[in-house]
Structures are given as structure tokens and as C-alpha cells.
A = this chain, B = another copy of it.
Amino acid sequence: MTTSEENYLKVIYHLSQVSPKGVNTNAIAGMLETKASSVTDMLKKLSDKDLVSYQKYQGVTLTENGFLSAKMIVRKHRLWEVFLVDKLQFSWDEVHEIAEELEHIQSIALIDKLDAFLGHPDFDPHGDPIPNRQGEIKKTSKLLLSEAELNQEYHCVGVKDSSSEFLKYLDKQKIALGSVFKVIEKESFDDTLTVEINAQEKIISNKIANNLYVQ
């Protein structure tokens, strides 16, 4: 499989989580910063290889094959992110782009050994689950901070938006995976939250609260 094909598969995989009954050509083009016509070309190719099932004008879904392949790419991406953060001391906002390259390295033995070296992690540095070598994903019942109940203790288990910008903001606010949250008050006017984070009171906007997963 080429790097380009892998990138398409991965994007279709991610978009499928939001629109499971068919991913739009334009949506794929948007994610890959390419043109719709290029996407159509590639969908035909992926369809010929039985990685997606595609009917003109009707959007695209992953086949069994494509689904597994996509999860293997995600597995590689997230394992490399763990390596970069845990072993090479990168911060969590720096690793995405490098992992985008590393995820296309082919060797299966490499990934198995990397997995073992890292201690078979279940989650990447942003709290996203790492599929195992069979493609199985550990499900957790996380919820958004904006949906949290008042005066209950939660801890941060992930971020929804993992853009460098957002992650740097969290660093500045000393919010990390594992941070302890308790929502003290919810301002009904603008949904701003008053939250006790690691025993410090902070005001959290709705936008932030909508991008933090807690448990």
C-alpha cells in the first residue's frame, strides 16, 4: 500500500466515526487538502483493491479489509506518538506531524517490538486508544467536561481537539492527562464553568469544556 492510499484510508476511518453510513468526497478532500476530483480517482483505486465500498455519488465506507488496515495505521501513529513523548521527551503538541511520517513505515516486526518497548500502552499522549495488533480497541466510557455533573470528581482522560494550539493552552493552564476536575458551578448564560483543577479554582469556557474528556 502506498503512503497516499494509507492517508486516504486513515481519513475515511476517522470520518466514518462521525458519518458511519457513508463519507462524502468533499469531506475527504477537505481533510487531505486536495481536490474532490483527486478523491474520486483514489476511491476507485481503493475500491478495486477491496479496501472501500464505493458507489458513485453515494459516499464511501470501509470494507472489512479497509477497516483493519486503517486501524493498523492508527495503531502505528499512536504508538509512535507514545515513543516520541515518553522516550524522546517531545511535548504532546509536537508529535502529530512526525507521527504522520512514521506511521507509514512498513515493518510489522518493528511495530510489535516498539509496542513491547513502550510497555503495550493502551492510550496515546492525547488519551486516544491504541488498537492492538488484532485491531481491537479498548472502549472507555468517557464524557466531555461540559457534560460533567456538579461537585463530582473526574479526571482528565483525553482531548477531543488535539491541535497544537489547544494543547499549548492546556499546558499553560497546567492541565494534563490525569488532572483532577470538580465542576463547582455552571453559568447558565454562556455555559462557562467554574472548575477546581488539581485543587485550584479556574474559569473554563464552554469551548474548552467541549474538548476535554473526563471520567
Total identical chains: 2
Interface size on A, residues (CB 8 A): 18
> Which residue in B87, B94, B105, B109 is a CB contact (below 8 Å) of A101?
B105
B110–A98 touching, CB < 8 Å: yes
| Measured CA separation A84–B110 after assembly (Å) | 8
A15: interface (CB < 8 Å): no
Alpha-carbon separation in the docked complex, A106 to B102 (Å): 10
Given A87-B117, A89-B113, 10 other A-B contacts at CB below 8 A? A84-B110, A88-B110, A88-B113, A88-B117, A94-B109, A97-B107, A98-B107, A98-B110, A101-B106, A102-B105
A–B complex contacts, Cβ < 8 Å, 9 sampled: A88-B110, A88-B114, A88-B117, A90-B113, A94-B109, A97-B107, A98-B105, A98-B109, A101-B105
